[in-house]
Amino acid sequence: MLYFFDKGKKLGSFENLSLSYLIGQGALTLILFWSFFFPFKFRVPSISIVIFILFVAFNRFSFVPRIKTGLRSLQTKNLIVVMLLVLIVFKLVYAFVETGSKPGYSWDASGNWTINSKIYYYVEKNFNDQVSWAITNTNNYPKMISIMHYWLFSWMGEADDQWSNIFFPLSLLCFIYLFYLNLFRARRDVGALFFTYVLISTPFYLYHSTIGYAGLSMSIYLSLGAIYFYRWVREREENYFWMFSLFFAMTTWLKLEGKTFFVLGFILLIYFMWRENMPDKVKRIIKYASTYIVIGLPWQILTIVSQMPSREKLAFHLKYFVVMHHKVYYLLFLNGTWGIIWIGIIAAMLIFYKRLFDKNNIYLALSLVLFYGIVLFAYLMTYDAYFYLESAFNRTWIFIYPLAVFTVGCIVPSWKELTNGKK
Amino acid sequence: MQNKKIFLPLIILAGLLIVVLIMMVMPEERFVFNFKDNVGQWQTSPGTKVRADDDAIALRRANNNFIVVMPKINLGAENYDVAIIDMKQPVAHGGGRLFFISPYNQRFQHNFSLPFDTGGADKFNRIYIDLKRHPAWKGIIRALLIVPATNSDKMSLKSITFVQSNPWTKLRAWMSDFTRHYDPKLGTCFAMASPIFLGKTFNMWFIPILWWLLAIVLLILVIDHFSEIDPRIKRYSILVFFIIFLMLWGVLDLRNNVYYLKAMRRNANLYWGKTLWEKKGINAGDKEYIKFMRFCDENIPKEGWIYNFVPWELPGTASRYLSTTQFYYNMRPDFKRLFRKLEMEPKPYYVYYKPKDKKIKTLSQEQAVLSTSVDILPGEELLQGIRLWRDLKNLEQVSFISKSDEKAGVSILDEKRDKVIAKGKYLKKEKDRVFYEIVPIKKYGRNNPAYIRIANRGERPIDIGISYSTEYDEGNSIIKGKKDNRDLTFRLDYNTKGLKVFKKYNEEAFILTE
């Protein structure tokens, strides 16, 4: 896919690899989803062979990769850089060890995601002609996570719901690299590494890469959508527009909330095109919408046609406005889940507000504001979301957390500038 | 000048060392309770095997209750602010608890206890506990109870020492609290507690300070905006804020890294080298249960229609809502809907595990999740779609949750909701659960859809417990005449007439069939 989108070959090898993994996860699960409507044996090996052939045909990797990591520019003799790298690696090691050690024990991981995967796996094994039934007779949640588990079960030869979680820390690893790379392009200093370390330092965030919840994946796709939008705005390369569109579209294949995030991306696009007075606005919108039509819309249509039970309906609970904000304050600042990061984020945005509203960073700020609007909408105006003030509400902030850290990384000046007052 | 640069850190280091040494040698009062020397002044849970081992006692667990009690310790709480337990366990960094009875409580209770981290595996660890952290550690402490980590089948205890601590011991107790490892529980995916720092949560200490500092910085910025002040004031105020913020962040991250190290040690100790099923057993808190689930999966034919009678309230499990305790999330999924679609009628298999009543007089089918309640007004009714797990003639009673004393009209309707196939007769109320005896009127077979009808024929509203969960998939509800996504919280109790044992795992775990 990246072969087609990155015609100018602007992506470095490791960036290509990381993007391939994340976009590939979405694409692979879509292919498998469509294949479920055709009962055939050896589904997973067949699809694997086709993908391998395509990979070989369009391979962009040599065995001596062009290492455009951005890490070469770091002075590794610098003790701070070494320390930060060690800390980041240590935390990633923890994520992998935790995932590789413990079987699943959390509610949503078992009850929403892996149970569906097991249904596909066992139905295919025992009632192969009923696989399409399996897809429409599980919950109405989009299927990227479930089908990814199914893919891994098939390769492992058993429904091992512990090792199938390994794609979460792998996603985190790819994301950490992309986060650092894009922030480095914005800052051009060691601050990019520092903020990458800050991102991964929040225990709640790191923990969510080990428990099989979809929160981390959603945060990755949403954040990368906004980050690549930001990069497209700054560098105006077409491949970044496609990265932005793809990542936002893939949020709709990940969780129900993805639809609102796709609209968030759409608003960013409209605002940018209006502000810059871009030509071919309609063509651009069609390109953006096409990613949803290919990725998210089929599932949406299927849920409607199959009359899958859904709680997606409007119901107003505006009287909970104050309660909700009280909860926001308590969860983000007081109870310890997020440590003290959010006060740092708020402080940075208030102190460096001028930088927040500059020509390019304005889009990051807008993303954060729109996200907040989505949260208000979801918890105050939909069917029963406000009941989740005691459970899912805290996890909702995981979605925007990396983008908030990225935004702070873009606006906080370098240490030299802070201490000397000079750039 | 260069000499000054070298000497300054050395001087600071030397100064710190002297301070630490002074703290260490400051006097403190200790009361040591040695377990081996005080036989008769402590007890263990029934069945626990005890033997003397050098200067310690070695205990081996007999059942789920694995504790050591000192029933008449009679300690003056004001005299001692730190406890040091000398203990060895085979599992690293487990979560133990020290319970106490003070003037504020009459029995051992969870909220009158202090957690501790059991330290590294297979060696004696000195575990420091800051007793003063608990507000009820006052007056005369009459009794103490130690619960070792739940994953440990054995432990060795040397002593518990009560200390009127010097600063060094106190610091160690605080550090112990701050870096305490605890296994994430089910609710951790919702929130994580702030670590304890100097007796209070870290966030409660520092968030208010940070807000004040931020307010000052913002005030300076506002003043600067309206009347330019010396740019150094602005710069230094921002720097001070971020330096303090980063220092606090650094301390917190250091603590988190220690936590991760402990977690990895624990994982290696507890999980590595074990099969997936052994790991699931550890996680579920009931290894036998997981082995039994495996037994069921291997023995029940793949077209078997499985009815899961594993009770929600299993011993040692995390939560009644935790899916990992239930059959379908641990083994094969539930294929009832597929069998219905294919119009198959496979043989039923009833999976039973640790029944409260070992003679198994009843089999219970339930939608146990309770989220809220709905008021059914006079003249209104609630209908809940069900699938019978046994023939109607075997259905003995239905129950649901209601705080009202008003009696409802309860009946069972057929699939089309126009024929009454069984009538309900009020039986009893236990706490908030109301029971109705079922008297069948017509024949109605297993697996057929039906409806529980609860009608308010009285003059006052009846509140009825319902669930928001989407897990229940054996029928829809109709509340006050409208289809509803919520479901009734109910239980159907069947008798066991006509059932025979298909396979037996042990006396407490078996599979029945028709």
Q: Could you report the per-residue pLDDT of A3-39, keeping only the tens digit for each?
A: 666 666 667 778 888 999 999 999 999 999 999 998 7
> DSSP letters of A201-225?
H-HHHHHTTTS--SHHHHHHHHHHH
In 3-state terms, what secondary structure has residue B83? Answer: strand
pLDDT surpasses 60 at A215: yes
Contact A130 B249 (CB under 8 A): no
Determine if residue B61 is left, alpha or beta; phi over 0 gives left, psi from -120 to 50 gives alpha, anything else beta. Answer: beta
In 3-state terms, what secondary structure has residue B59? Answer: strand
Chain B residues whose beta carbon lies within 8 Å of the beta carbon of residue A101? 267-268, 270-272, 279
Say if A130 is an interface residue toward chain B (CB within 8 Å): yes
Contact B280 A133 (CB under 8 A): no
Say if A89 is an interface residue toward chain B (CB within 8 Å): no
Contact A343 B239 (CB under 8 A): no
Structure tokens at A215: 């929160």
* Confidence band of B1 (pLDDT split at 50, 70, 90): low
Contact A347 B342 (CB under 8 A): no
Structure tokens at A369: 């504001």
Report the gap between the CA of B232 and the closest CA in chain A (Å): 8
Contact A106 B239 (CB under 8 A): no
Of A404-408, B122-126, B304-308, B498-502, the one with minimum mean pLDDT is B304-308
pLDDT of residue B186: 67
In 3-state terms, what secondary structure has residue B43? Answer: strand
Chain B residues whose beta carbon lies within 8 Å of the beta carbon of residue A335? 191, 193-194, 203
pLDDT surpasses 60 at B131: yes
> DSSP letters of B102-149?
-TT-SS--GGGEEEEE--STTS-EEEEEEGGGSTT--SEE-EEEEE--
Kindly state the average pLDDT of the residues A330-342: 90
Contact A103 B279 (CB under 8 A): yes
Of A253-262, B245-254, B347-356, B445-454, the one with minimum mean pLDDT is B347-356
Report the gap between the CA of B403 and the closest CA in chain A (Å): 22
Contact B271 A94 (CB under 8 A): no
Pick from A102, A139, A394: which is nearest to B267 by CB? A102
Contact A344 B264 (CB under 8 A): no
Q: Are B95 and B119 in contact (CB under 8 A)?
A: no
Provide the total of helices (H) and of strands (E) in chain B, helices listed first: 8, 32
Identify the bridge partners of residue B430 per DSSP, sorted by sequence position.
Answer: B433
pLDDT surpasses 80 at A364: yes
Find the residue in A nearest to B281 (Cα).
A103
A406 CB neighbour count, 10 Å cutoff? 25
Kindly state the average pLDDT of the residues B229-249: 91
> Residue B300 and residue B304: Cα distance in Å, rounded?
6
Find the residue in B nearest to A123 (Cα).
B335
Its sign, for the CA torsion A155, A157, A163, A168, is: positive
> Residue B286 and residue B253: Cα distance in Å, rounded?
34
pLDDT of residue A384: 62
pLDDT surpasses 80 at B404: yes
Identify the bridge partners of residue B428 per DSSP, sorted by sequence position.
Answer: B435
* Confidence band of A106 (pLDDT split at 50, 70, 90): confident
Say if A395 is an interface residue toward chain B (CB within 8 Å): yes
In chain A, what's the furthest Cα-to-Cα distance? 70
B303 CB neighbour count, 10 Å cutoff? 14
Report the gap between the CA of A291 and the closest CA in chain B (Å): 30
Chain B residues whose beta carbon lies within 8 Å of the beta carbon of residue A384? 468
Look up residue A113 and give its amino acid. Answer: W
Q: For residues B320, B324, B327 and B330, what is the CA-based torsion angle, rounded to 10 degrees?
A: 180
Pick from A102, A139, A334: which is nearest to B470 by CB? A139
Look up residue A216 and give its amino acid. Answer: L
Contact A97 B257 (CB under 8 A): no
pLDDT of residue B317: 44
Structure tokens at A167: 């794609």
Determine if residue A393 is left, alpha or beta; phi over 0 gives left, psi from -120 to 50 gives alpha, anything else beta. Answer: alpha
Chain B residues whose beta carbon lies within 8 Å of the beta carbon of residue A104? 324
Chain A residues whose beta carbon lies within 8 Å of the beta carbon of residue B241? 347, 351
pLDDT of residue B6: 64
What is this structure's pTM? 0.88
Pick from A90, A107, A344: which is nearest to B186 by CB? A107
A86, A93, A105, A166: which to substitute to probe chain B, counting the most B Cβ within 10 Å? A105
Alpha carbon separation from A322 to A385, A398, B84, B223 (Å, rounded): 16, 21, 46, 31
Sheet strand arrangement including B372-376: B372-376, B462-467, B487-488
Give residue-wise pLDDT tens across range A130-176. 888 888 888 889 999 999 999 999 999 998 989 999 999 999 999 99
Pick from B204, B324, B333: which is nearest to A104 by CB? B324
- What is the DSSP code (8-state) at residue A113? I
Chain A residues whose beta carbon lies within 8 Å of the beta carbon of residue B188? 207
Alpha carbon separation from B484 to A236, B146, B322, B410, B477 (Å, rounded): 50, 49, 25, 19, 5
Q: Which of A384-388, B195-199, B283-287, B434-438 has the highest mean pLDDT?
A: B434-438
A138 or B259: which leads in pLDDT: B259
